[in-house]
Amino acid sequence: MEILEKIKQPATSESKNPSASIPTNSGEGREVSGSEAVLDACVQEGVYTIFGYPGGAIMPIYDALYDYKEKLQHILVRHEQGAIHAAQGFARASGKTGVVFATSGPGATNLVTGLADAMIDSTPLVCITGQVFAHLLGTDAFQETDVINITTPVTKWNYQVTDATEIPAVLAKAFYIAGSGRPGPVLIDITKNAQLQKFQYEGYKKCDHIRSYRPKPIVRKEYIEEAAKLINEAERPFVIFGQGVILGKAENEFKQFIEKGGLPAAWTIMGMSAIPTDHPLGVGMLGMHGNYGPNVLTNECDVLIAIGMRFDDRVTGRLDKYAKQAKIIHLDIDPAEIDKNVKATVGVWGDCKETLPLLTELLQQKVYPTWLQKFHDFMAKETEKCIQPELNPTGDTLTMGEVIKTLNELTNGDAIIVTDVGQHQMVACRYAKMNHSKSNITSGGLGTMGYALPAAIGAAYGDPSRTTVAIIGDGGFQMTLQELGTIMQFKPNVKILILNNQFLGMVRQWQQLFHEKRYSFVDITSPDFVAVAKGYYIDGQRVSERDKLKYALQTMLNHDGSYLLEVMVGKENNVFPMVPQGRGVAECVLSKEEI
Amino acid sequence: MNTLQFNHTAAQLSPSGGGGGGLNGRKEFTITVYTENQVGLLNRIAIIFSKRKINIDSLNTSPSEVDSVHRFTIVINETEEVVRKLCRQIEKQVEVLKAYYNTNDEIIWQEMAMYKVPTDVIAEHVKVERLLSQHGAKAVVIRKDYTVFEVAGQREETDNLIKVLEPYGLIEFVRSARIAIIKSSDGFHNKLKEFEYKEPGEVVIENEYLSENEKVFSM
């Protein structure tokens, strides 16, 4: 219980603590093993929850963990991919760094998908993998793989430890790198001998500077001034924002910025929930299945202000038809993102927590009623053609949209929504109501099917004060359903909502629209999900009738503990609007007839 | 108080023009990277190129003017835009201190080549010896069966000597990676001091995106 209390405390940025660089007195001057040093590092970094799976090469760490049960809560997953997605969900819900333990060889290679996912979505993780004894490296020993080289392209930093004396400094570096600047995953591979090796422990010292690493710059005022000038002179300014606002903990700064400037703002899928979804200046979601107005009007604004986003191809569509008329201001903490896909007129390199207030100060208080009305007009068109039929369908079968709408009515937008990948993800992100930051947890950049169930487990630990609803398709759920075992054993409170259309729906939609309806291996069959859950002692039910939907959702939310609700939805429904691949954002279509 | 005036840095905007080179505006660029000396960093840098299916023409690692700081010299044939993006990705790596790129006229560069030829041929043809000395070749090893010459120079020079020696039975040829000195560089010593401060000055923490054609902040 004590652990739970601690978790409930809001995330604080301990690294900013001025006393952080003072060595702590824990275990100072005594002899410890490498394994104990690893665990002490976790404790000193404020970690309470670890997701992991033991195995031969990480046994010394697990042995030491036996004595740390009071200080560290270890969640035994059913597959290492589950561990890393859970750590991602934890990080995204809590704003802290997620921690994963896995063994060498297959344990470590099972992390790769999650590392790639965390890398592209900038999720802070520290993964500790066991490795064979140092003297066996390169001998193709049992469960030896070259984890460092396998994971180099998908980690912000990685390092192999072969000597225990390195552990405190390396772990300190790992946590510092994972959580600072543009966050990302770090992997530390520790050979078994280093885990066992005893050494004189001088205590843990947090890292706050690496000479070759610059997490953020000193903000240069002249760029802020230039940007403010462009915004103040604009007639049709448009803000597009991504997860940078959430990662930078700059939600308030962002809100003040758009409110003072009267700036219409649209979010990327990763930026969703940085402002409440019903904010009057929030005009919706960008991207392939985003809202009509934000997509089309990207090509009509005169100043486009991009904040903490990276112009992913799913957001821009065809680049040579993207916002060519606009002057572009790009605020980002990662200088490699500025000018990468879209050339900025003014690039502001910096932490948006610092740059946004400076920019806001120079803004004139303004409103753009005519310009904002344009977004509303497009929304009216979209409502008529897409939203209304999706949320209030007249047919017999349920739509995904009406499930989300009903869920909104019951959660009132206060739940954490974890989604998998595919049609249900797009529908959930299009229609879910969110009042609080860090409400939308999804695999955005990598599009990892199977992400949602383990990520929801992590989210439930990351913010236990909120309801976590995992919305998953029938395909994705079958990719990681083994994590029901984790839920069974550790009882995190996860509401599992399966939207079953008996197809791999998004691929089917593309096959229908672009491959002459040649449905090639998308008609996936499913087990009785409710019976599967029952096998794991998790209650659940299936509904397919409209009049039972609300009660079923209420039952799920009210249930004491985890619950699985399978909702049968229309088999061949499509997600619209859509910016078809290879087209410009202005060519966003509202129905299949327009393609 | 600019400590250094290198011509292009990873974070710098396009200086005027560019272009000029071969196919599709591609030309030869030499990338100089200052790094920590760390196992695995070579791979981390190499995959930045291979991820984009870009061939590295030449790669050299060596110590630098600063003790403990490593220096990579990488040659590729690409457009300046691609090179600039590559340098930003390189500089983003935790253990990379700084990445610069330069065109050939901005650097002094050399490669070293070695040629193994049959000794008896050289002994027979006085002409060969004359040719070798014309090309500045120096004998490294002379044995009864073969002789090894070395030449340091630019690509054309070392290539020319291959052509010259081929008729006389060139047995083996090898050329080193390019090494290059940046003409306008004042070295990395002062720069490194800046990096070591916990709150580096603007000279190190540059923000160079003001506008395309105006002020270009160098370091």
Residue A153 contacts B where some CB pair is shorter than 8 Å: yes
For helices A221-233 and A352-362, what crossing angle results, to 10°?
Answer: 50
Residues 194-233, chain A: which have Cβ within 8 Å of B? 208-214, 217-220, 222-223, 226
Closest CA to B196 of B68, B91, B86, B100: B68
| Type and span of the H or E element at A386 | none
pLDDT at B191: 84
Q: What span, in angstroms and rounded, lies between the C-alpha atoms of B61 and B70?
A: 7
Closest CA to A73 of A82, A65, A81: A65
Q: Cβ contacts of residue A230 below 8 Å, gap of 6+?
A: A303, A327, A329, A345, A346
Q: Check CB contact under 8 Å for B207 and A339.
A: no
Give the pLDDT band (50/70/90) at residue B202: low
Residue A148 contacts B where some CB pair is shorter than 8 Å: yes
Residue B26 contacts A where some CB pair is shorter than 8 Å: no
In eight-state DSSP terms, residue B178 is P
> What are A12's two structure tokens?
């604080």
In eight-state DSSP terms, residue A250 is -
Q: Count CA atoms within 13 Å of residue A387 on its CB side.
A: 16
**Facing residue for B43 by CB, picked from A152, A335, A336:** A152
Q: Cβ contacts of residue A387 below 8 Å, gap of 6+?
A: A401, A431
Closest CA to A294 of A261, A313, A316: A316
ipTM here: 0.91
State the smallest CA–CA distance between residue A308 and chain B in angstroms. 16
DSSP letter for each residue of A74-121: EEE-SSHHHHHHHHHHHHHHHSS-EEEEE-STHHHHTTHHHHHHHHHT
Catalytic position from the list A36, A80, A337, A566? A80
State the smallest CA–CA distance between residue B143 and chain A in angstroms. 39
Q: Count CA atoms within 13 Å of residue A384 on its CB side.
A: 5
User: Is residue A192 annotated as a catalytic residue, yes or no?
Assistant: yes
CB A585 within 8 A of CB A321: yes
Q: What span, in angstroms and rounded, lies between the C-alpha atoms of B99 and A34?
A: 36
| Type and span of the H or E element at B32 | strand B27-36
Q: What span, in angstroms and rounded, lies between the C-alpha atoms of A184 and A215?
A: 12
Which residues of chain B make contact with A343, given a CB cutoff of 8 A? 212
For residue B46, give the chain A residue with the closest CA: A153
CB A75 within 8 A of CB A486: yes
If you count them, how many residues does chain B have?
Answer: 219
**Facing residue for A346 by CB, picked from B11, B85, B209:** B209
Which residues of chain B make contact with A219, given a CB cutoff of 8 A? 207
Closest CA to A56 of A145, A139, A127: A145
Q: Between A and B, how many residue pairs show a Cβ–Cβ distance under 8 A?
A: 89
Identity of residue A8: K
Catalytic position from the list A96, A156, A173, A192? A192
Residue A340 contacts B where some CB pair is shorter than 8 Å: yes
3-state helix, strand, coil in chain B (%, to 5): 30, 30, 40
The total of other beta-carbon atoms located within 10 Å of residue A210's CB is 17
Q: Check CB contact under 8 Å for A226 and B39.
A: no
- A529 to A478, A521, A525, A532: CA distances (angstroms): 9, 21, 11, 5
Which residues of chain A make contact with B92, given a CB cutoff of 8 A? 334-336
Question: What pLDDT digit, counting tens, does each position of A83-125 carry?
Answer: 999 999 999 999 999 999 999 999 999 999 999 999 999 999 9
- List the A440-442 sheet strands across, edge first: A440-442, A416-419, A468-473, A494-500, A563-568, A539-543
User: Is residue A576 annotated as a catalytic residue, yes or no?
Assistant: no
> What are B10's two structure tokens?
């990873």
Query: Distance between alpha carbon A174 and the CA centroid of its chain, in Å?
Result: 20
Per-10-residue mean pLDDT of chain A, 595 residues long, equals: 46 41 57 98 98 98 97 98 98 98 98 98 98 98 98 98 98 98 98 98 95 90 96 98 98 98 98 98 98 98 98 96 98 96 96 98 98 98 97 96 98 98 98 98 98 98 98 98 98 98 98 97 98 98 98 98 98 97 96 92
Q: What span, in angstroms and rounded, lies between the C-alpha atoms of A453 and A134?
A: 36
Q: Check CB contact under 8 Å for A335 and B44.
A: no
For residue B70, give the chain A residue with the closest CA: A212
Catalytic position from the list A8, A31, A69, A142? A142
- For residue B206, pLDDT over 80 is answered with no
Q: Locate tokens 């027979």: which residue? A: B124
**Facing residue for A210 by CB, picked from B40, B94, B201:** B94
Catalytic position from the list A270, A479, A506, A578? A506
pLDDT at A95: 98
SS (H, E, C) A154-200: HCCEEEEECCHHHHHHHHHHHHHHHHCCCCCEEEEEEEHHHHHCEEE
Question: Radius of gyration (Cα) for chain A, nearest Å?
Answer: 24
Best residue in A157, A339, A342, A345 for a mutation probing chain B (most B CBs within 10 Å): A339
pLDDT at A416: 98
- For residue B201, pLDDT over 70 is answered with no
Catalytic position from the list A143, A256, A512, A554? A143
Q: What span, in angstroms and rounded, lies between the C-alpha atoms of B178 and A436?
A: 55
A163: left (phi over 0), alpha (psi -120 to 50) or beta: beta
Question: What stretches of A410-512 adopt beta strand conformation (E)?
Answer: 416-419, 440-442, 468-473, 494-500
Q: Check CB contact under 8 Å for A223 and B205.
A: no
The better pLDDT of the pair B206, A374 is held by: A374
State how beta strands A265-267 and A237-241 pair. Answer: parallel
3-state helix, strand, coil in chain A (%, to 5): 45, 20, 40
For Cα atoms B165, B168, B170, give the angle at the middle one, nearest 5 degrees: 60
Q: What span, in angstroms and rounded, lies between the C-alpha atoms of A484 and A581?
A: 36
**Facing residue for A220 by CB, picked from B91, B204, B207:** B207
Question: Radius of gyration (Cα) for chain B, nearest Å?
Answer: 21
Longest Cα separation, chain A: 74
Residue/partner pairs of A507-513 with CB below 8 Å, 24 or more apart: A508/A572, A509/A423, A509/A574, A509/A575, A512/A572, A512/A574, A512/A592, A513/A574, A513/A580, A513/A592, A513/A595
Q: What span, in angstroms and rounded, lies between the C-alpha atoms of A271 and A285?
A: 9
State the smallest CA–CA distance between residue B209 and chain A in angstroms. 5
Question: What pLDDT digit, counting tens, does each position of A504-527 carry?
Answer: 999 999 999 999 999 999 999 999
Q: What span, in angstroms and rounded, lies between the C-alpha atoms of B40 and B26?
A: 30
Question: What pLDDT digit, counting tens, does each position of B26-70 carry?
Answer: 999 999 999 999 999 999 999 999 999 999 999 999 999 999 999
CB A473 within 8 A of CB A500: yes
Residue B194 contacts A where some CB pair is shorter than 8 Å: no
Q: Check CB contact under 8 Å for B210 and A336.
A: no
What global pTM score does this model have? 0.92
What pairs with residue A363 in β-bridges? none
> What are B16's two structure tokens?
């005027």
- For residue B215, pLDDT over 90 is answered with no
Identity of residue A370: T
State the smallest CA–CA distance between residue B63 and chain A in angstroms. 16
User: Is residue A143 annotated as a catalytic residue, yes or no?
Assistant: yes
> What are B68's two structure tokens?
């403990």
Residue B214 contacts A where some CB pair is shorter than 8 Å: no
For helices A352-362 and A251-261, what crossing angle results, to 10°?
Answer: 20
Residue B172 contacts A where some CB pair is shorter than 8 Å: no
Which residues of chain B make contact with A330, given a CB cutoff of 8 A? 209
Q: Is A50 helix (H, G, I), strand (E, B) or coil?
A: strand
Best residue in B207, B211, B214, B217 for a mutation probing chain A (most A CBs within 10 Å): B207
Which residues of chain A make contact with B213, given a CB cutoff of 8 A? none
Question: What pLDDT digit, counting tens, does each position of A336-384 carry?
Answer: 999 999 999 999 999 999 999 999 999 999 999 999 999 999 999 999 9
Q: Check CB contact under 8 Å for B85 and A340.
A: yes
Q: Check CB contact under 8 Å for B11 and A209.
A: no
What pairs with residue B102 in β-bridges? B30
User: Is residue A59 annotated as a catalytic residue, yes or no?
Assistant: no
Question: What pLDDT digit, counting tens, does each position of A275-326 carry?
Answer: 999 999 999 999 999 999 999 999 999 999 999 999 999 999 999 999 999 9
User: Is residue A285 annotated as a catalytic residue, yes or no?
Assistant: no
pLDDT at A28: 63
SS (H, E, C) A128-167: EEEECCHHHCCCCCCCCCCHHHHHHHHCCEEEEECCHHHH
